[in-house]
Amino acid sequence: MIELRDLGQGDVERLFQWRQEPDVDHWLFESPPSDRARHTAWFDAFLCDPDRRGWIILQSGAPCGFLHLVGLTSSQKRAHWKWYIGEPVARGRGAGRAAQALGLDLAFSSFGLQKVWSEVHAGNEPALRAQAAAGFRREGYLRRHSYKAGVYRDVVLLGLLEEEWRARRGVVLHELAVSGLIAAT
Ligand SMILES: CC(C)(COP(=O)(O)OP(=O)(O)OC[C@H]1O[C@@H](n2cnc3c(N)ncnc32)[C@H](O)[C@@H]1OP(=O)(O)O)[C@@H](O)C(=O)NCCC(=O)NCCS
């Protein structure tokens, strides 16, 4: 069963470890923090920043990933979606899709957003497939838009409007509940 809980002070080391995971780092845009002091500074700033909100993804009660929204104080009423499953054994088993549905419900019901958007490296099939399943639409393709570790990569822009999620959420949540990934709604 997948659930979300608020990010808390006790998660600082967990996020540091997950962020070093090669299969996570490969798909994220920035390099991981080089030392704990930098990471802790980022983490402490995150926790008291009203523009950002983070949740730990729980699988059967155990932390397995992190998702967060950025841009919550913007007058644009849209937020940037960022996420990863940090525990390698939890990837590819539906935790991402389930956490995404729970996170989108929070995003649209708690923060008055009209849109959630994300940028995904081309070739990141798990992310692209999971986001398409929730109803995200492709809004752009940016060539050679990302540069990391000496490599340029293309980036896919995705967006999901509030009414698109409202229209889709019933089916998505039902399928996840039938699969035992979330509690019945
Ligand atoms: C992207 C991510 C959050 C998705 O979570 P997940 O739990 O692994 O994904 P799910 O099991 O929910 O599967 C999502 C979809 O990807 C597919 N998928 C899963 N693993 C895959 C793989 N290795 N190759 C291709 N497709 C894959 C699933 O079949 C599913 O597609 P479907 O709904 O059409 O069947 C997770 O893989 C991850 O953290 N990856 C590394 C970091 C990252 O890429 N973060 C996102 C940056 S934008």
Kindly state the average pLDDT of the residues 152-162. Answer: 98
What local confidence, expressed as pLDDT, does residue 104 receive?
98
Whether residue 185 is contained in a domain is answered as no
Q: How would residue 69 be classed by pLDDT, with cut points 50, 70 and 90?
A: very high
CATH code for position 111:
3.40.630.30
Whether pLDDT at 185 is above 80: no
Whether residue 38 is contained in a domain is answered as yes
What is the 96 CA–ligand 1 centroid distance (Å)?
6
Structurally, the chain folds into a number of domains equal to 1
Instruction: Please spell the DSSP secondary structure of 124-135, one letter per residue.
Output: -HHHHHHHHHHT
Please tell me if the CB atom of residue 40 comes closer than 6 angstroms to any atom of ligand 1. Answer: no
Whether residue 60 is contained in a domain is answered as yes
Ligand 1 atom 45 nearest Cα: 84
Domain limits for position 169? 2-178
Q: Share the mean pLDDT of the chain.
A: 97
Please tell me if the CB atom of residue 182 comes closer than 6 angstroms to any atom of ligand 1. Answer: no
Task: Tell me the pLDDT tens digit for each residue of 43-65.
Answer: 999 999 999 999 999 999 999 99
What local confidence, expressed as pLDDT, does residue 109 receive?
95
Distance between CA atoms of 182 and 185, rounded to whole angstroms?
8
Whether residue 184 is contained in a domain is answered as no
Atom of ligand 1 nearest to the CA of 95: 7
Task: Tell me the pLDDT tens digit for each residue of 13-23.
Answer: 999 999 999 99
What is the 75 CA–ligand 1 centroid distance (Å)?
31
Whether residue 183 is contained in a domain is answered as no
Task: Tell me the pLDDT tens digit for each residue of 164-181.
Answer: 999 999 999 999 999 999
Q: How would residue 113 be classed by pLDDT, with cut points 50, 70 and 90?
A: very high
